[in-house]
């Protein structure tokens, strides 16, 4: 696994963050060092997905990136189900395909390139997973995306959503951001790296408050919704149709 040093040097111009070759090459390390309890979140979402997965249905990973979640799902969910990974980045999909081949991943699967800002076609789904994906969808398009997921889910199917979130109150939001940057420092990121990545993400990653995400899910028609993980400004939610 290559080390994330993308923002290590002082950059004269900081472009918007994107999921191109440079990011893809270090993405797994970036997640491990930037997302609190990432491995435990993976374990938890697989545990829950296993409860809702139904034989003969599809399991979707929207924003599948390098395929870590697909691999974990495929290794732990038994029975005849099809795994479908969707991502907009061709470089991510290429790395995902390579990673699945290396393990190897013998389950029935399909990788598709699609822009989730345009909605998504989901069918016969018992489980849909979005790990740190919705936050990169333009806010104006999130209602449409969640609505299309709901329509493609079978009755009692679930959506598992992991997001970076804002604090409900500005006081706590400032504290949570401070604690998060402390977490990144503990994992070896410098002040320059933290500052430059923050600037690169400013217009790209737009988090909602936890309650705003919950309201979105309920408004679009999910019957049940609960929080299964919370760490300062990160949360995991599960919603059932």
How confident is the model over 197-218, as a mean pLDDT?
Answer: 97
Determine, yes or no, domain membership for 11.
no
Domain of 112: which CATH number? 3.40.50.150
Determine, yes or no, domain membership for 115.
yes
Looking at residue 104, its pLDDT comes to: 85
Domain carrying residue 119? 38-165+207-240
Determine, yes or no, domain membership for 14.
no
Residue 23, pLDDT above cutoff 80 = yes
How confident is the model over 16-44, as a mean pLDDT?
Answer: 96
Determine, yes or no, domain membership for 152.
yes
How confident is the model over 184-206, as a mean pLDDT?
Answer: 96
How confident is the model over 37-55, as a mean pLDDT?
Answer: 98
Altogether, the residues listed in the chain come to a count of 241
Half-sphere exposure of 176 (CA within 13 A, CB side): 18
How confident is the model over 215-223, as a mean pLDDT?
Answer: 97
H-assigned helices in 110-190: 139-152, 170-186
In the chain, the percentage of residues whose pLDDT exceeds 90 is: 96
Q: Residues at the annotated binding site?
A: 38, 63-65, 198
In the chain, the percentage of residues whose pLDDT exceeds 70 is: 100
pLDDT digits (tens, 9 = 90+) for 113-134: 999 999 899 999 999 999 999 9
Determine, yes or no, domain membership for 27.
no
Determine, yes or no, domain membership for 197.
no
Local confidence band at 1 (pLDDT 50, 70, 90 cut-offs): confident
Domain count within the chain? 1
Determine, yes or no, domain membership for 119.
yes
The rounded distance, in Å, linking the Cα atoms of 208 and 7 is 25
How confident is the model over 133-160, as a mean pLDDT?
Answer: 98
Q: Residues at the annotated binding site for S-adenosyl-L-methionine?
A: 38, 63-65, 198
Local confidence band at 12 (pLDDT 50, 70, 90 cut-offs): confident
Looking at residue 144, its pLDDT comes to: 97
Q: Judge whether 191 and 112 are in contact, CB under 8 Å.
A: no
Q: Are strands 125-131 and 58-62 parallel, antiparallel or unpaired?
A: parallel
How confident is the model over 196-219, as a mean pLDDT?
Answer: 97
Determine, yes or no, domain membership for 85.
yes
The rounded distance, in Å, linking the Cα atoms of 234 and 239 is 17
Residue 201, pLDDT above cutoff 80 = yes
How confident is the model over 175-190, as a mean pLDDT?
Answer: 98
């Amino acid at each position: 696994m290559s080390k994330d040093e993308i923002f290590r040097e002082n950059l004269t111009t900081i472009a918007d963050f994107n999921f191109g070759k440079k990011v893809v090459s270090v993405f797994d390390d970036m997640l491990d060092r930037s997302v609190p309890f990432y491995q435990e979140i993976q374990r938890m979402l697989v545990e829950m997905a296993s409860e809702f997965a139904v034989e003969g249905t599809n399991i979707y990973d929207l924003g599948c990136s390098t395929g870590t979640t697909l691999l974990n799902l495929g290794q732990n969910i038994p029975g005849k189900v099809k795994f479908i990974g969707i991502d907009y980045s061709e470089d991510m999909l290429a790395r995902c395909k390579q990673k699945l081949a290396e393990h190897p991943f013998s389950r029935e699967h399909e990788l598709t390139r699609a822009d989730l800002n345009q909605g998504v076609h989901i069918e016969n789904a018992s489980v849909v997973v979005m790990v740190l994906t919705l936050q990169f969808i333009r806010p104006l398009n999130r209602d449409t995306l969640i609505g299309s997921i709901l329509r493609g889910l079978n009755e009692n199917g679930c959506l598992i959503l992991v997001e970076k979130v804002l604090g409900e109150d500005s006081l706590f939001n400032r504290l949570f951001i401070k604690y998060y940057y402390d977490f990144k420092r503990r994992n070896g990121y410098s002040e320059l790296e933290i500052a430059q990545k923050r600037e690169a993400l400013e217009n790209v990653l737009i988090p909602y408050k936890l309650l705003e995400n919950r309201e979105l899910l309920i408004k679009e028609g999910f019957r049940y919704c609960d929080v299964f993980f919370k760490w300062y400004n990160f949360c995991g939610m599960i919603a059932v149709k």
